Structure 1
């Protein structure tokens, strides 16, 4: 551009020496017009350069934004995949818990069914109308509570003949359920007992238990299914403050324990699994 300007000036000087005044004036006007055009073009060029710089900056910013969006989109896809996987795992966990709960309910239902069938059998065989014989369920366990006046004479651990009739009915039910065990619990009142060879109420309660067990064994109950236990006077039904109450507390309980360990084991296992899953 400088060369062009010098050329114009040189031309002007050259022409001014060999052209008329009118021609010089026309050339001078033409030169001014060219100079104005040059200035205008320069301004526009600078403006274009500035616009280009701004546009380049915007383009770079947009490219950075696009890259950020692309990375965000990739992250979202990863998160979406993880989210879908987590949802799938959660649904699978819920299904597993539902299955465990169902199995748990089935086990409890079966256990309740076994208990109900056992109670019905005992009530039918032993006789529900006798006030001195109680068939009941306590904490999920079936038991027969027999008043001592049906089993023993006062202060004795020898089983009476009438007791053998009752125990024969018990043995019949027990023998029909080979998966059951029987724990025979002896209970006394609080009146201290001491009669050789027994030392106290503990001895008496256990001795009465073993006497019942020996009778059940003679009635073909497998001895491996029998458990002897004595509770002395420490688990009374009522206060030992009257003769009538003491009579109620002197009793023998035959606790029937179904061998359904597999159900209990499963229940405990499933409960632990559920707790572990909740944590």
Structure 2
């Protein structure tokens, strides 16, 4: 009887041990599988981090390149503006202005500086101003030029030869300036003439002063920045 009890106890102990061993083995396998899954997730996450880091570096480099390009552009514009200001220093500053806008240098010359009233022929002081501006442009061969004639909204006096309205006046004044510039040695393929009549006023007021501001010739200087992009290895 005692022997049978011993055998039963031994069998029960062995079964318990085997069952515990099976449970432990199953837990180990589960833990191992969980570990492998976590390692795969970690590797995938690390890959994403690496990709995002590389993308961030590329964006930072691109941003640095763009900032350098903008700085180079601004330097070119500032130098051109300074050269123009120096060339026109001797003239009444109330009759002209030089400003940078939208990546271009705008040289605005009043009709008082350039033309007799209602005329398309440039007066002596105007010729001198244009001559000095041309000398600056000869030293800056990569700068394109647009000459825009602007008028006020007062109708052209009747009976004036070749002038029907302010379109005629603005166009003929622009072409006269353009002709002078090319005759002084500026390449014709660099210069474009345009007449704006009274449709692009700088002052919409009705006073005599406002109208005087609108009667002007704007010479728009547009540097070619393609060399800047090439130097920096940037596609424009």
Q: TM-score normalised to the size of structure 1? A: 0.75
1:209 correspondence with 2:171 = no
Which deviations, in whole Å up to 9, do the C-alpha atoms of 1:180-230 show, x marking residues without a partner?
011111111011336554443223222211111001011101111101122
Verify the 8 A CA contact 1:190 1:240 in the aligned structure 2.
Answer: no
Q: Which is bigger in relative contact order (C-alpha 8 A, separation at least 6)?
A: 2
1:189 correspondence with 2:146 = no
More helix by share: 1
Number of aligned residues = 232
Verify the 8 A CA contact 2:155 2:166 in the aligned structure 1.
Answer: yes
1:54 shift after superposition: 3.0
1:83-102 matched pairs, under 5 angstroms: 83-102=45-64
Correspondence for 2:98:
135
SS for the counterpart of 1:127 is coil
Select which of 204, 207, 210 maps to 1:239. 204
1:255-270 matched pairs, under 5 angstroms: 255-261=220-226, 263=228
Unaligned ranges ≥5, structure 1: 1-37, 271-279
SS for the counterpart of 1:221 is coil
Q: Distance in 2 between matches of 1:70 and 1:235?
A: 78
Correspondence for 2:189:
224
Q: Distance in 2 between matches of 1:47 and 1:224?
A: 111
Q: Distance in 2 between matches of 1:168 and 1:227?
A: 17
Specify the structure having the higher radius of gyration (Cα). Answer: 1
Verify the 8 A CA contact 2:137 2:186 in the aligned structure 1.
Answer: yes
Q: TM-score normalised to the size of structure 2? A: 0.88
CA RMSD, Structure 1 to Structure 2 (Å): 2.4
Q: Distance in 2 between matches of 1:128 and 1:101?
A: 42
1:267 shift after superposition: 11
1:108 shift after superposition: 0.9
Unaligned ranges ≥5, structure 2: none
Which deviations, in whole Å up to 9, do the C-alpha atoms of 1:103-130 show, x marking residues without a partner?
1111111111111111110111111662
